[in-house]
Amino acid sequence: MELVHYYDVARAEVRLRDASNLPFICWPNGVPCFAANAYMVMLCKRNLSRNNNGGTLRQFAKDISHIIRYCFDKRIDFIQINGDRFTAFISELRNEKDPLNPMARKRDSNTLIAIGRKCIDFLDFIGKLNGDETFAINTVKAQQKKYLIRTNNSKTSKIEKLGWYHESFDTPGPRKNRSPISRKSIQELYDAIPILSSSKLDQQSKRFIDRRRTIMLRLLEMTGARIEEVAKIQVKDIEEALQQNEPLLRLITLKKRRSEHRFVPVLHQDMAALKAYVRVNRLMVIKRTIGASQDHGNLFISEVNGKPLTSRYMSNEIGLLRRTAGITGQACAHMFRNRFITKLFVRLINQYDFDNKDSFRKALLDANTLKQQVQQYTGHGSVDSLNTYIDLAFDEVANLVAVVSTVQLQEAFDSFDSNVDILQMDLKTGLPIQIYLEKYNELLNLRTTDVARINQLRNQNNPE
């Protein structure tokens, strides 16, 4: 979908702007809610994310839907909301019970506050739409509180922002941080792949789905990418990386207001598995479904119709594997990212062998090369957001290139172990011994190539 952007006087043309995945909001009776949709257009002009079937805009639409339903049920207009009515609205949300556990609240305090803030922002828009610039503050009785955030673009390293607050809000609860996924859980997810596949599938289809799930887990492991970023990987990204002596896999970086991408170093032995999936498994499905001439280029496709898989579908795949494996704790796609970042820091810390958290954080902030390297791997907008992953520290940074090389060297051996585990899983599900031995020897050769390349880079930067 496209919306009007501006009128080009010189060419006498109306210029359009992309508005794909823009949410469309209706009242509960199905009638379009014009005020809410105008709000969505305003957010769209602020370049909020619309990735993954709506992204940030979709979350805004979901959150303000609560006050839309409230006004519909009470038969009042948005401009009729005042402080008392907003308090009653928040109270109704607070009192809703979890349908699966009637003794528990449906939403925790932080979720309730997030919904409330977006609803106030919407009401502020409503006020301005009706010519009342102070509607949210004077009528709804909301406040704008100041808080500081760090930024790399500010001379003071901090900028001041405003956030909505209302007296009806709960006290914020502690933030929940997901721990990195354990090696044991990862192996259990791999082991669940052949068990999960339906017995009704023919052998070729089962083989494709098993391979697709394996590649998905492997990419989450080796790149530390968000699941939405993995879902957007293109075949051309794999092919381009295969042609490089030092493979770099292109990833679209999300959580940005403009389109960006980054390149993550990958190993030859990992690229071998991706190459086989692209040129054998995936190509076979494309030819059988949409045809090579209609190939859209997405790496992950449906076995049924050849269409691209959504990140939501892929997240559900992780959930299915977790339940099949009988993992009782958390095991989701984002925990792979946490593991990737944590492993990187832990290996750097172990290499330096320091043990003071504050010193390590200070050294991290002072080491521009390290900051750029970690951010390049992870796609974080600010180095400060990496502080969550720091558990140990060091006093000073020395010989950074050698340390990073050591980390990469360890990753090469870990990657070899992971790929051998996958190969052994294939052997258990019917892979002929001869092909197993060929692939095992290929992995050995590729590991040797990776190790030689890493050592060569270290020697080039440390000629002494």
Domain count, the chain: 2
Compute the distance between CA of residue 76 and CA of residue 63 in angstroms, rounded to an integer.
Answer: 19
* DSSP-H helix ranges across 9-50: 34-45
The answer on 194 and 148 residing in a single domain is no
Top pLDDT among 257 and 174 is at 174
The answer on 316 and 228 residing in a single domain is yes
Tell whether 402 is covered by a domain.
yes
Tell whether 173 is covered by a domain.
no
Tell whether 442 is covered by a domain.
yes
| Amino acid letter, residue 99 | P
* Mean pLDDT value across the chain: 82
pLDDT at 357 over 60: no
> Of 165, 196, 215, which residue is a domain's last?
165
> Of 134, 165, 196, which residue is a domain's last?
165
Q: Report pLDDT for 199.
A: 67
The answer on 22 and 140 residing in a single domain is yes
The answer on 331 and 426 residing in a single domain is yes
> Of 117, 138, 165, which residue is a domain's last?
165
CA distances from 35 to 5, 24, 258 (A): 19, 11, 26
Candidate from 99-108, 141-150, 332-341, 411-420 with smallest mean pLDDT: 141-150
pLDDT at 440 over 80: yes
Candidate from 116-125, 345-354, 415-424, 449-458 with smallest mean pLDDT: 345-354
Range(s) of the domain holding residue 147? 2-165
- Summarize pLDDT for 126-139 with one digit per residue, the tens: 999 999 999 999 99
Mean pLDDT for 151-179 is 68
The answer on 277 and 377 residing in a single domain is yes
The answer on 156 and 16 residing in a single domain is yes
Mean pLDDT for 381-408 is 49
The answer on 411 and 283 residing in a single domain is yes
Residue 194 burial class via C-beta count within 10 angstroms: exposed 0-12, middle 13-18, buried 19 and up = middle
pLDDT at 365 over 90: no
Mean pLDDT for 399-426 is 75
pLDDT at 184 over 60: yes
Q: Report pLDDT for 396.
A: 32
Tell whether 170 is covered by a domain.
no
Instruction: Supply 309's token pair.
Output: 């898989």
The answer on 323 and 412 residing in a single domain is yes
The answer on 137 and 8 residing in a single domain is yes
pLDDT at 208 over 70: yes
Q: 195, 172, 41: which is closest to 108 by C-alpha?
A: 172
Top pLDDT among 199 and 301 is at 301
Tell whether 177 is covered by a domain.
no
Binning pLDDT at 50, 70 and 90, where does residue 108 land?
confident
pLDDT at 77 over 70: yes
Q: Report pLDDT for 160.
A: 64
- Summarize pLDDT for 297-332 with one digit per residue, the tens: 999 999 999 999 998 899 999 999 999 999 988 899
Q: Report pLDDT for 5.
A: 84
Tell whether 187 is covered by a domain.
yes
Top pLDDT among 446 and 399 is at 446
Q: Report pLDDT for 154.
A: 42
Tell whether 350 is covered by a domain.
yes
pLDDT at 89 over 90: yes
Compute the distance between CA of residue 319 and CA of residue 189 in angstroms, rounded to an integer.
Answer: 10
- Number of H-type helices and E-type strands within the chain: 16, 8
Instruction: Supply 265's token pair.
Output: 């170093």
| Amino acid letter, residue 133 | E
Tell whether 72 is covered by a domain.
yes
Q: Report pLDDT for 391.
A: 38
Confidence (pTM): 0.66
